[in-house]
Chains A and B, each alone.
Chain A
């Protein structure tokens, strides 16, 4: 899980072109949207694209997406739950 979260942070930074952010700047539990990283609804769509391209997980419903994309922690948990044990 720690490995996954580290990789996720790098992928988020690359996908969203967060030039001034380093992986260690992102707290596992900090909200990605609004206050935290200051992401918006277009970023949330881009993060769903990231999940689909990198982890082959498709999120259909944007309402469901909002829950999954709360934080790096929630994303990592979702990815883990979708992967075969």
Chain B
């Protein structure tokens, strides 16, 4: 029988905090990270809200503990900060101390920096240090720079399945552990805001000019965010032998494709339904044992209908408490799955249910509404965390309390 997979370390940086403790504090204070961009050169600076990490890239070098150097993109720096916290949190001083793999996730690689110099790069008349950024556009760049600094030399990979990327990274790492390929994996994703992505989602007409309102009748779209998050996964036998502190168990997961439309989910949430149902079945827990669902909840017209319908189909009239934390962090795309997996662990370990900010009016298509108040001291044993993306790529994770 395949081994259980435990989470033994977490690290993150988002618009609401530079580390896990900072994130927890903002979640508890119900302080949103949404605002307006300081660092992207766009005509939408004062128009489209985003959840930006509150440091210019130059300051991120210090937070990441590396000297300022050309070629390190914001994507890499955010990732490095989260990675170092995750390793510290898991008590790993040297990743070479045990065979350790690294599965990263990214949607647009180093586009945040490349887009600023792209027209110089393609202009034969121009030359300069910007040429150091030529190879940073692809998604492997951030993964390899992080790997090289931290010292990963076993398995490395980068996944890109749009908004479900880091959920798939966690799943892939967990599967490698269960197959006995490696005892320890660090998995997650990193995403920096870009003009490219902002205009992309705006061209799809699904960015809200107000702060995003998941599951609200009046919602008109998402707000983008940035950040990075990594989780250290260990096999049960390794964690026990290593005397690791176990934060929670990654007890179930499912990846499914909806095969419905290039960018939209099906109106009845077939893919979301299947992903949640299969992930929960794998975890061995029943519908009644799920206390909280951290929904994908992007606040686009289509996602929330589809995901809400899937919740009602799966749980009937007993839909558990659910909320979208995207009004705190924005939609961080490749990082979202890992960020929300950490929030799920925080919910379990601190007995918290996070509020779905900005909700006021029930959607006409649904009978359920999200949690709007912070709940403290609420026993949480099993959380479903959803990440659904373009191309019909759906992923659900089940994170469970570790009982010893």
Binding site for B on A (CB under 8 A): 40-42, 45, 48-49, 60-63, 65
By a CB distance below 8 angstroms, the chain B residues around A48 are: 205
Among A40, A62, A65, the most chain B Cβ lie within 10 Å of the Cβ of A62
Report the separation of the CA atoms of residues A44 and B263 in the bound assembly, to the nearest whole angstrom: 13
Interface residues of B in 20-62 (CB under 8 A from A): none
**A45 and B205 within 8 A (CB):** yes
Binding site for A on B (CB under 8 A): 203-206, 220, 261-264, 301
Report the separation of the CA atoms of residues A40 and B261 in the bound assembly, to the nearest whole angstrom: 9
**A62 and B261 within 8 A (CB):** no
**A41 and B261 within 8 A (CB):** yes
> A62 and B203 in contact (CB under 8 A), knowing A41-B261, A41-B264?
no
Chain B residue at smallest Cβ distance from A40: B261
> A62 and B262 in contact (CB under 8 A), knowing A45-B203, A45-B205?
no
> A61 and B203 in contact (CB under 8 A), knowing A41-B261, A41-B264, A42-B262?
no
Shortest A40–chain B CB gap in Å is 7
**B301 and A62 within 8 A (CB):** yes
Chain A residue at smallest Cβ distance from B206: A62
Shortest B162–chain A CB gap in Å is 15
Report the separation of the CA atoms of residues A62 and B301 in the bound assembly, to the nearest whole angstrom: 10
- 10 smallest CB-CB distances across A and B, nearest first, come from A62-B205, A41-B264, A45-B205, A45-B204, A42-B262, A45-B203, A42-B263, A62-B301, A41-B261, A48-B205
Kindly list 7 other residue pairs between chains A and B, CB separation below 8 angstroms, not including A42-B263, A62-B301, A63-B301: A41-B264, A42-B262, A49-B203, A60-B205, A61-B220, A62-B206, A65-B205
By a CB distance below 8 angstroms, the chain A residues around B203 are: 45, 49
Report the separation of the CA atoms of residues A42 and B261 in the bound assembly, to the nearest whole angstrom: 10
By a CB distance below 8 angstroms, the chain A residues around B204 are: 45
Shortest B193–chain A CB gap in Å is 22
